[in-house]
Amino acid sequence: MSEDRSTNGHKTWLDRLVQAFVHEPKSQQELIELLREAHQNDVLDIEALSIIEGALQVADMQVRDIMVPRSQMTTIKVTQSPRDFLPSVIEAAHSRYPVIGESMDEVLGILLAKDLLPLLLEGSVERFDIKDILRPATCVPESKRLNVLLREFRANRNHMAIVIDEYGGVSGLVTIEDVLEQIVGDIEDEHDVDEDDQIKPLSSSDFLVKGLTPIEDFNEHFETEFPDEEFDTVGGLVMNAFGHLPKRNEVVELDRFRIRVLNADSRRVHLLRVSLIQP
């Protein structure tokens, strides 16, 4: 008996998956439907299905969909001394920081927090020139596809890129972790909304909102009057607006909000980007 067969003669999950593809899918949607059917037939578990769907959808997403906006970037000015910028580095607890010149649009390089450690140990942090330890900054357009960006990140061993708009200005930044989260789901880090912070502002008109945020809290924060008799959470309210369980990057307009799904699986909505479309 071959090694890829179980001792009781039943087919392995790989055998069953191969059999599911006897009728070759003609489109991505057909492929996803086959994968979901495989999950229903216990060929794929829910985590594997979610990861495969995320990998497929990454090819349809652009950097602008997931970037950290300019207003939320933690930067260091090249003229700052360690005494000036270290409190911000400690508070943000990131591993990489864009270093800028006279304005946000002048990114001179990337400072890795770990490059400061030898200087701190040697006691020479006050005498160093930040330009001596800068790493080159990689710039990408807002329209770059995430699958292409991920391939470039891996090829260049780079973990962060500065996002440039059509006029050459800085519109935000994106990290390899941001891309991977679209495939494997949330990775708890410094950018995530804390358990006690269900609504996180990105700018005056954009917010990250957890799907489990109570509608009552959403109403209080945005001074809205969405009913909470039928649904308890914002995720339930959004699913009702879609009329189905939405996928990553689907958008719906609800009252004065444009709501984009940032993270969801086949069971519920996890994270939303809520944008005001009217004062």
Kindly state whether residue 227 falls inside one of the protein's structural domains. Answer: yes
Residue 172 in domain: no
pLDDT band at 190 (very low <50, low <70, confident <90, very high): very low
Place of tokens 């935000």: 172
Domain span at residue 115 reads 73-139
Q: How confident is the model at residue 112 (pLDDT cuts 50, 70, 90)?
A: very high
CA nearest to 111, candidates 69, 68, 70, 159: 159
Task: With a cut of 70, say whether residue 1 has pLDDT above it.
Answer: no
pLDDT tier, 123 (very low <50, low <70, confident <90, very high otherwise): low
Residue 33, pLDDT score: 78
The CATH number for 124's domain is 3.90.1280.20
Which one has a higher pLDDT value, 141 or 61? Answer: 141
Residue closest to 33 by CA, chosen among 12, 54, 53? 53
Could you give phi then psi for residue 223, rounded to 5 degrees? 55, 45
Can you tell me which residue has the tokens 């990861």?
51
Distance from C-alpha of 52 to C-alpha of 192, rounded to nearest angstrom: 23
The whole-angstrom separation of Cα 96 and Cα 106 is 17
Q: Is the pLDDT score of 235 beyond 70?
A: yes
Q: Which helix (H) or strand (E) holds 91?
A: helix 82-92
Q: How far apart are CA 143 and CA 152, in angstroms?
A: 15
Task: Give the mean pLDDT of 9-33.
Answer: 63
pLDDT higher than threshold 70 for residue 7: no
Q: Per the structure, how many domains does the chain have?
A: 2
**What average pLDDT does the structure give for the chain?**
81
In a domain, 159, yes or no: no
Q: Tell me the pLDDT tens digit for each residue of 127-161.
A: 678 888 899 999 999 999 999 999 999 998 889 99
Residue holding tokens 């949330």? 186
The answer for 133, left when phi > 0, alpha when psi is -120 to 50, beta otherwise, is alpha
What pLDDT, on a 0 to 100 scale, did the predictor assign at position 24? 67
Boundary of a domain, candidates 93, 124, 139: 139
What CA–CA distance (Å, rounded) separates 208 from 210?
A: 7
The reply to whether 186 falls in a domain is: no
Does residue 129 form part of some domain?
Answer: yes
> Among the listed ranges 20-24, 101-105, 109-113, 115-119, which one has the minimum average pLDDT value?
20-24
Would residue 23 count as lying in a domain? Answer: no
Q: What is the CATH number of the domain that holds 227?
A: 3.30.465.10
Nearest to 212 by CA among 232, 191, 185, 227: 232
pLDDT given at position 184: 76
Q: Are residues 205 and 269 in the same domain?
A: yes
Q: Specify the higher pLDDT residue, 20 or 137.
A: 137
What's the whole-model pTM score? 0.57
